Amino acid sequence: MALWDSKSNKIALFKKVPLFEGLTPRQVGQISRLADQVEVREGRRLATAGETGRELFIIVEGRATVETPRGRTVRLGRGDFFGEMSLIDGAVRSATVTADGPMKLLVIGQREFWELLNAAPSISKKIMSTLAARLRDADAAYSKVP
């Protein structure tokens, strides 16, 4: 993974990501140093089901595909995040996530993830609400299977 344009204004970038909406300038300043800006090529595997993973990814540009071990496919795009599950419970990745094309991402490591949640409770709320939506969605999909 290559770090992209170190001159890009990370703070301006953070303001465009829904996960970080509504933060005070102080909070944005505090958390922007917790993330790395990373660029990847098409086909790059960002998470592998069953393997250890210790990062949260936030999509700034591009799209990714999530493939669950039961064969479901979910597409993610700009503003979406993934990798939160392993950070929260310490278990292996629940799905494989691959870049559909070139992507720009913000990447947050495990220790920084907890710092992020402490710095801004609104982020915890958004992550919990996305987790709940993913659970409902997965449950609805599995209950259709005979």
What are the residues binding ligand CMP (CB under 6 A)? 47, 53, 66, 68, 74, 82-86, 93-95, 97, 134, 137-138
Give the C-alpha separation, 63 to 29, whole Å: 27
What's the token pair of residue 121?
A: 């409770």
> Nearest approach, Cβ of 117 to ligand CMP (angstroms)?
15
Q: Give me the least distance between CB of 99 and ligand CMP, in Å please.
A: 13
Q: Rounded to the nearest 10 degrees, what angle do helices 110-119 and 25-32 cross at? A: 170
Of 62 and 83, nearer to ligand CMP (C-beta) is 83
Instruction: State the nearest-atom distance from the C-beta of 18 to ligand CMP, in Å.
Output: 15
Closest CB to ligand CMP among residues 29, 50: 50
Q: What is the CA radius of gyration of the chain?
A: 15
Give whichever of 68 and 122 is closer to ligand CMP, judged by the CB atom. Answer: 68
Q: Which is nearer to ligand CMP, 8 or 104 (CB)?
A: 104
What is the 8-class DSSP label of residue 34? T
Q: Which residue number, 11 or 138, has a Cβ lying nearer to ligand CMP?
A: 138
Please give the structure tokens belonging to residue 53: 């993973």
User: Do residues 42 and 100 make contact, with C-beta atoms less than 8 angstroms apart?
Assistant: yes
Least Å distance between CB 103 and ligand CMP?
15
Contacts for 136 with CB less than 8 Å, ≥ 6 apart: none
Q: Which two tokens stand for residue 4?
A: 């992209």
Instruction: Give me the least distance between CB of 69 and ligand CMP, in Å please.
Output: 10
